[in-house]
Amino acid sequence: MRTVTICTDAFEQMASLEKRVLGQPDLAVAIIEHPLVYRTAEEIEQIADDLMPTMSQIFVESAS
């Protein structure tokens, strides 16, 4: 099963460390802008829409 973990740029270094510590160096991580807490539903939907090409590319690369 292919997965993509999504985290905000404020946690990018922690995500990198967790991948290594948990023995998952190939885990795909997509980074979005921090913070999300003050975003409207419409803004969150736009972020998700904007992220789709990145996620699609990650899935294509991991399938090969």
What pLDDT score was predicted for residue 1? 64
Render 5-46 in DSSP notation, one character per residue: EEEEGGGHHHHHHHHHHTT-TT-EEEEEPSP-TT--HHHHHH
pLDDT tens sequence across 10-43: 999 999 999 999 999 988 899 999 999 999 999 9
Check pLDDT > 90 for residue 51: yes
pLDDT tens sequence across 36-49: 999 999 999 999 99
Stretch 42-58: mean pLDDT: 93
DSSP state of 4: E
pTM, two decimals, is 0.80
Q: What amino acid is encoded at 7 in this protein? A: C
How far apart CA 40 and CA 31 sit, in angstroms, is 19
In the chain, where the domains are located:
4-63
Largest CA distance in the chain: 38
